[in-house]
Amino acid sequence: MLEKFFNLKAHKTDVKTEVVAGITTFMTMAYILAVNPLILGDAGMSVSGVFLATAISAGFATLVMALYAKYPFALAPGMGLNAFFAYTVVAKYGFTWQEALFIILVEGIIFILLSFFKVRELIFDSIPLALKNAVSAGIGLFIALIGLANAGIVTNQGGTIIGMADITQPGPLLALIGVLLTGFLVAKKVKGAILIGIVATTLIGLPMGVTVIPEGFMPFSLPRDLGEVALKLQMPKNLLSTEVLLAIFTFLFVDMFDTVGTLAGIASKANMLDKDGRLPRVERALLSDAIGTTAGALLGTSTVTTFVESSAGVAEGGRTGLTALTTGLLFLVAVFFAPLFLLIPSQATAPALIIVGLFMISPIAKIDWEDFTVSVPAFLTIIMMPFGYSIAEGIVFGMISYTILKVLTGKHKDVSVLMYVISVLFMLRYILL
């Protein structure tokens, strides 16, 4: 039944591969269950309530992606967007968290409308194939940097923008052991290498004191406190104020181009794009993302978006919605087994992100580096993702520079009308904001 519904044979995969891929994606994303409640807790929200909202919204949105779009992409409340929610919309602009959730709901509804009218699909298709390959490589560097930072291997302390931490400390040392272990498993072509690496690194962390089992630990816990954040939205008093409109625009912009970039990058790596660089059923993937954002706001969490960590499951061979189905179900199961999943330290998931970064960078070979109207924008796309710490910013720099260089070199016909429009809007964003 599963084989037929997800058409596994056509994608040259099987149930075991898809399930292992789904578990791997979940393991690399599980940190969001611990991090998101802490960040939104700073906005005055119930930490336990946000935990449940995070798990349920991630599970629901990922299941929509699995069953409707049938792609191996997982969704959850996005990092960066949750920080903007807590530290800018609430702390800086002065909105209550209930009003901030209403703003998220408005964003989600706008996204659904844009998806119905295929605006997001047109934007996805307008990105040149060379930039889509660059997006994949940029995401590879970006998630590798996230892994290195989560492991404590790199730091911004010590008088430099970024530098090496003391790797002899237990945390960084465990992560490096995990990288070598996972690399060995990958080199030996062991099925489920990344997942095995996460579990093994977690166990190795026990005698090193990095993986900590709390006193009185119980792996099972009953869900509670969702009512403290769900359906608590409140409309801001002045819905058309500059602060409200700016918050909606920022959420829209970052979520849209993070999602578009993630889909383009992972699809490029997994050879899901057709000969014209288009992703079949992309409108379904984008609508799934929009539905996730709307559901997340109602449940009580910040913007739900497609996670770049989905690339971990794709690297394990995940090619269909069965991968996402597995991940989505695990998020729902996590509601009852939160203590067990939260035992996994960031140093154990970091090796997975670093190794997946290696996998994601390979499409860089498809870029024509001799054509500088292509290679310069591609290079800017790649480097601005890790250095700007944003997938969206990488796309912005790539698309603007692509348009300008094509025009200046007399190759303006290579640029679509929509690319011109988007590039102008991107430039106005920097000028006006």
Residue 401 in any domain: the answer is no
Residue 122 in any domain: the answer is yes
User: Domain count of the chain?
Assistant: 1
pLDDT at 20: 92
Half-sphere exposure of 145 (CA within 13 A, CB side): 21
Q: How many Å apart are CA 146 and CA 66, to the nearest integer? A: 26
pLDDT at 304: 93
Report the 10 Å Cβ neighbour count for 42.
16
pLDDT at 283: 85
Residue 232 in any domain: the answer is yes
Residue 394 in any domain: the answer is no
Tell me if 319 sits within 8 A of 25, measured CB to CB.
no
**Own/partner pairs, 164-168, CB within 8 angstroms, 24+ separation:** none
Q: How many Å apart are CA 246 and CA 248, to the nearest integer? A: 5
Residue 391 in any domain: the answer is no
pTM: 0.75
Which stretches of the chain drop beneath a pLDDT of 70? 80, 120, 158, 432-433
pLDDT at 433: 60
Half-sphere exposure of 89 (CA within 13 A, CB side): 31
Residue 379 in any domain: the answer is no
Residue 324 in any domain: the answer is yes
Tell me if 177 sits within 8 A of 204, measured CB to CB.
yes
CA dihedral of 262, 19, 50, 356, whole degrees rounded to 10: -40
Which domain, by its residues, includes 319? 2-360
pLDDT at 357: 84
Residue 409 in any domain: the answer is no
CA dihedral of 290, 358, 387, 159, whole degrees rounded to 10: 130
